[in-house]
Amino acid sequence: MLVAVGVVLLVLGQRFPQEAADVRSRFAGPVSGLLETLQLPMKPVLQLRERYTDYVQIENELARLRAENDELKGWKWRAMELERRLADLSDLSKVVQAPGVDYVTTTIRARSIGTMSGSALIGAGTRARVRPKAAVLNSRGLVGTTFEVGPTTSRVLFLTDNASRILVSIGPSLVTGVAAGAGERKLEIRSGGRPLDIAIGDEVTTAGEAGGVPRGLRVGRVVAGPTALRIEPYVDFDRLEFVSILLAEGQERASAPKDRAGRDSEAVRSGLMRFADDRIQPAGQ
């Protein structure tokens, strides 16, 4: 029926063009108003479609921003890690500056930590002039001593290992004792039966041993233990990454002439005494 009406209107429009134009002009206004009225119920549907389109675009934008935010967080973490490593290296570069005492800085390659033991593998050996029983430290203080020194690697015995023994000076009166590894990140204070005039909070430094750990390296502070006073090390053994190994000049010259042995020994001894006067300061100072 609609097709028939359309054909009739087309034929009439061709036969009577002027009359058809007049009819169109008369009905254009009312028909347009009727169409607008009929479209009113469709406006909410059209607005809902537009809002859905905007919602999809906002979701896509949020997904892009989340991805960028995650990437920025990753770069922030990398920057903080690089800043921390740079700070550690900067601190290590200021640890030892005394004449007659040299040092080499390397990384921790592997570690072994147990309840009563602790050691690590470092990337420096005899080719870097590392010797057994050499002091190993980081920016916080003494880490331990070397043992099982190879050509390119060495093992470090942590202070907390039950086989570790270090001669220390405690408190302002520099009371001498032995700091023995006791596990659980603490050191026992052994005095050989002598009474010690020490108190909680006293700072502990190395007392110096011939051919071993020099005097004046920071070890930790005296804290209260279950049955007696103990030493809590400054070093965080779980976060070790860079360490420095002390290399005393003259001690590696086993083939030196006999007439120079006395001078070499005196040079090392004087260097270590000067090193003792310039103790390592706490990190950040």
Do the Cβ atoms of 139 and 234 come closer than 8 Å?
A: no
Q: Give the model confidence (pLDDT) of 258-273 as tens digits.
A: 344 444 444 444 554 4
Strand runs labelled E in 164-241:
165-170, 175-181, 187-190, 203-207, 215-224, 229-233
In the predicted structure, residue 27 carries a pLDDT above the cut 80: no
Q: How far is CA 47 from CA 36, 58, 106, 154, 230, in A?
A: 16, 16, 67, 74, 75
Q: Give the model confidence (pLDDT) of 48-75 as tens digits.
A: 888 888 888 898 899 888 888 888 877 7
In the predicted structure, residue 24 carries a pLDDT above the cut 80: no
**What is the pLDDT averaged over residues 140-157?**
91
Q: Give the model confidence (pLDDT) of 221-275 as tens digits.
A: 999 877 788 889 998 888 888 899 988 654 444 333 334 444 444 444 455 444 4
Place of tokens 């040079």: 267
Do the Cβ atoms of 264 and 256 come closer than 8 Å?
A: yes
**Radius of gyration over alpha carbons of the chain, in Å?**
41
Please indicate, yes or no, whether the overall pTM of this predicted structure exceeds 0.75: no
